[in-house]
Structure 1
Amino acid sequence: MTRTRPARLAAASLIAGAAFAISAPAQAQELPDTMTWSSYDVGSAGYAEASAIADAFGRKYGTRVRIQPSGSSIGRLQPVVSGRADYGFLATEAFFSAEGIYDFADRRWGPQNLRTLAGRPSSFGMPTAADAGIEKIADARGKRVAFVAGNPSVNVKCDGILAFGGLTRDDVEAIMFPTYGAAMSSLAAGQADATCTTTTPSQLYELAESPRGIHWADIPRDDAEGWERVSDLAPFFAPYTETVGAGISQENPAQLMAYRYPVLVTMADKSADDVYAMTKALDETYDMFKDGTAVMPRWKLDEAGLPPIDVPFHEGAIRYLEEKGIWTEEAQAWNDRAVKRLDALLAAWDEAVAEGESLGDEEFAALWEEKRQAAVASLN
C-alpha cells in the first residue's frame, strides 16, 4: 500500500548543507549523479555521520550529496515525504510518523508509508544514582525519575524502559524538567534518582564522579516477558550490550536497550533498484567512513541492517541484505508484521479522515486515537 504524498505541508525547511563533489571514477556506478538527504542540525551526530557517508560516496562513485539539516522532526521528514529529499537520516520521528502520533497526529500528516534501509544502533538505558538502590528497572517503583518536558522522543523511550520492569509513570515519581540538560543534571544535584538516556552525556560523567556515583539499571536480554512489554510500547528497541559510556567499559559492560539513530529512511514507493544501489553503496564504502566518528563502526550492515527498527525495511534493501547473507527468516517475519501494522494504521487514518471531515482539531484527534488503538488491537 502506497500512501499518496501530501501536495502541501505547513512546515518548510531551509536547504542548506554540504556537497561533496569529486570527479567520477572510470568504473560504472549505480548511484545517481546527485542526491539530497535530510538530517539533524549541523553539529549533531546525525549530520556528522551523514556527512561522512556522503563524502565516501563522492570519493568512490563521484556522487554529489546535498544535506538539508533541520532542528525539527517535521523539518527533517517533510523533504522526504514531499520528494525533495531522496533519503532522511532521522531519529525516532521515523517511528512517530509511521504511527501517526505526536507531531504527526495532525490531520495534515497522519501515518506516513516509510521504509528503512538500515540504522545505526544507539544504546539507551536508565542511569541511576548509585545510592538510590535501583539495581533493576522494577526497583524504580516509588523513586524520582527525571523526564524532559515536551520531548516525546526521550519520554516514549523511558516509558518503554519502565514497561520492561512492569512499571508505568504512575508507579514512579515522574518529575518533568524543562530541558534535557536539566534532567540529566538532576541526579548529581540530588533532585532525581534516575532518568533515561544514552550513555555519553557529559552530565553522566559528572554523576559518576559525584558522591552519589552512577549505576545502570540492568535490562537483561533473556527476560522474555519484559521484552514483550517493551515491544507493545516501543517495538524499535532491542537488547544491547554497551561498553562505552559513563560508568561503563569493556571490563564493566551494561545490559541496555538499543534504538536506531540515525535511521536511514525513504518512502515505500521509492524504486527498489535505487534503494538496492543505495544499500550496496553503504556497504561498499563502509571501510571509507567507519572511522568518521567513534560509533560509526556500528553502521556495518550485519548490525545496522536487521530489525527491530522504527519502520519496515524497503524491498530494495532486503534484496541486497539477502544477497549478502545478512537477512534471516526471523527478520522477514518481523518485517511482515511491521508492514501489516503500518498498512492497518494507514487504513485507519483514511477512515478517520473520512469520518472526521467536519470535526474540530481536538475532536478529530480523539477520533484518530480511537481508530489507531483499534487498528493496533486488531493485530493481536
Structure 2
Amino acid sequence: MRITSLKPMVGACLSLAGGLAFGLASLAHAEEFTMPHLLVIGTPGTSSGSFASTNGWGPILQKDLGTNVRVVPEDSEVQRHRRLTERRDLALSSVSTAELRFQIQGIGHYATMTPVPQRVIWHHNDTPWSFVVSGDSDLHTMDDLKKGGVRVARGQFSPPMIAAVTDALPAYLGMTSAEGAENLRFVPASSYVENCRAVVEGKADVAYCATISSVMAEMEGAPGGIRWLSMDLDSSQAWEGFLEHRPMVVPGTISMGVSSAKGVDGLVSNFLYAAPADADEAFAYTMAKWFHQSYDTYKGSHPLSTRMSLEVFREYLNRSPLPVHEGTVRYLKEVNVWTEEDDKLNQEAIKKMDSWMVARRAALAEAKESGIEPNMNNDRFMAIVDKHTQGLEGFRTRL
C-alpha cells in the first residue's frame, strides 16, 4: 500500500540482497526446536481481513512444519488479549499497533488487567481506515460533520475504535472531546460488523471502518452503495489533532480495499503478530524464518498476505516504536536486515515497555492493599494508575 506521510519517512534504505541469499547455516537453530502439536492463533472476528488472511497461510504452515494450526476469531480485543497473556491458550495474536499501545499503557479496561510485556513476531498487514457514509448521505466532506447532530457509530468492543470517534474525530474537526460529545451523537455498536453496517441500515450517519474487511464489499454492493469522506493529507492541523489521540496510525492515500475507497485520503493501521515477551526464543525464530522463507508460497493465499514480506516488515521497523522478540531479531540478523541502530532502538523500546509494566503492577498492588476495586469507571482506582504512570513516555509511531 502506498503511504503518503505528513512528515518525511526517517530511516535508511537497506538492501535485502543478503537476506535473500539464505543458506543452510540458518537452519541449524530451527532444527533444535520442535513446533507444538497445536498452534492457536487469535485474530479479530470472522469478517476481518486478519482472520481471512491468517486462514490463508495457516494450512501451508501446518503442512510445512507439522503442527496443527487453529485460527480463533475473537471480536473482543480485551478477551483476545486476556487469552494471549493470562489464559495462554493463544500462541500468537493478530493485533493492531493501536490496540497494542492501549494494552501496554493500560488505557481503558486494560488498566484493570495484569500487565504482561509483549513482543513483535512479524508484520501482518497495514490496514487502511477512514470514515464511511451511505451512498445517498448528505455528508460529503469531513467538515460536514461539524454541522451538529451527526450520528457516529461507536464500536464498544475496541478501546482504540472508541478513542477514534470520541476523541480523535472531534480533535480532527477542531473540537475538544467534550465539544464532540455535545455536537455528535454516538451510536453504540457491539461488534465491528454492526459498527460498519450501521450506515447502510440507517442507524448511524458515519462509521470508522477498514476498507479491506469483507463487510465493506457487502455494503458497497447494497442499494445506494457507500462513500468515503476524505481526510485531506494537507490538513496538517486537523491531523495533529487526530494523532494526539491515535498516535500509532499513519496518514496516507488508500490504495487497498473496496473500489469506493481507493484514492481517498485516510490512514493506515498496522497489524502485527505479537506474543508475550517470554515466548520461547526458538519458537519466535522458527516463525520468523518460516514467514520469510515461505512468503512466495503463501503470498497468493489472501491479498493481505502480500504485506507479510520481509521488505514490508523492514520498512515498518523503520518507524515502529514497539520491541521485537529476540527470536525474530536473531533471524533478522542472520539475513542481514537488522542493524546496530535497530538494536539500540529495540533496547529503548524494551526499557520503555518495562517501565509501563512496573508502574502498572505497582498501581494494582496499591489498589489491592487499599481495598479499591480495579475498575476503569472507579475514579479512585484510575487516580492510582495515573499517579504511578505519570511522566512515562507513551508509544508513538516514528514518522
Residue 160 (1) aligns with residue 162 (2): no
Give me the whole-angstrom Cα distance separating, in 2, the residues matched to 1:165 and 1:245. 25
Matched, 1:314 2:325: yes
**348 and 175 in structure 1: CA distance in 2 versus 1, 3 angstrom threshold:** same
Counterpart in 1 of 2:306? 297
Q: 2:146 aligns with which of 114, 122, 141?
A: 141
Matched letter for residue 96 of structure 1: F
* Corresponding residue number in structure 1 for 2:4: none
In structure 1, the partner of 2:206 is: 194
* Residue deviations 1:312-352 (CA, integer Å, cap 9, x gap): 32233234345546557887776566434422321221331
Counterpart residue number, 1:32: 34
TM-score by length of 2: 0.70
User: For each residue in 1:130-167, what CA deviation from the matched residue of structure 2 results, as whole angstroms up to 9, or x when unmatched?
Assistant: 754553x4553344141225233422233435544544
Tell me, in whole angstroms, the C-alpha distance in 2 between the residues paired with 1:300 and 1:330. Answer: 21
8 Å Cα contact 1:132/1:193 also seen in 2: no
Partners of 2:72 and 2:350 in 1: how far apart?
A: 28
Aligned: 1:81 with 2:85: yes
- Look up the match of 1:57: 61
Please tell me the residue identity of whatever aligns with 1:312: P
1:100 aligns with 106
| Superposed CA RMSD | 3.8
**Structure 1 equivalent of residue 291 of structure 2:** 282
Alpha-carbon offset, residue 372 of structure 1: 5.9
User: For residues 354 and 377 of structure 1, what CA distance do their matches in structure 2 show?
Assistant: 22
Aligned length: 347
Alpha-carbon offset, residue 207 of structure 1: 6.5
Structure 2, unaligned stretches of length 5 or more?
Answer: 1-26
Q: Secondary structure at the match of 1:253?
A: coil
**How far apart in 2 are the matches of 1:318 and 1:228?**
33
Of residues 113, 124, 130, the one that matches 2:129 is 124
* Matched position secondary structure for 2:274: strand
- Shift in alpha-carbon separation, 1:52–1:346, aligned structure 2, 3 A: same
DSSP-derived class of the 2:360 partner: helix
- Amino-acid identity (%): 20
**Residues 236, 312 of structure 1: alpha-carbon distance in 2 compared, 3 angstrom cutoff:** farther
Q: Name which of structure 1's ranges 146-155 and 39-48 shifts more when overlaid on structure 2.
A: 39-48
The residue type equivalent to 1:146 in the other structure is V
Q: Give 2:168's aligned amino acid.
A: G
Q: Partner of 2:248: helix, strand, or coil?
A: coil
Counting helix residues as a fraction of each chain, which structure ranks higher?
Answer: 2
Q: Which residue of 2 aligns with 1:14?
A: none
| Amino acid in structure 2 at the alignment position of 1:98 | I
**2:381 alignment partner, one of 353, 365, 375:** 365
Distance 1:274 1:255, change over 3 A: same
The separation in 1 between residues aligned to 2:306 and 2:196, in whole angstroms, is 27
The residue type paired with residue 32 of structure 1 is T
- Work out which structure has the larger RCO, using CA pairs closer than 8 Å and 6 or more positions apart in sequence: 2
Normalised to the residue count of structure 1, the TM-score between the two structures is 0.73
Q: 2: distance between equivalents of 1:206 and 1:93?
A: 25
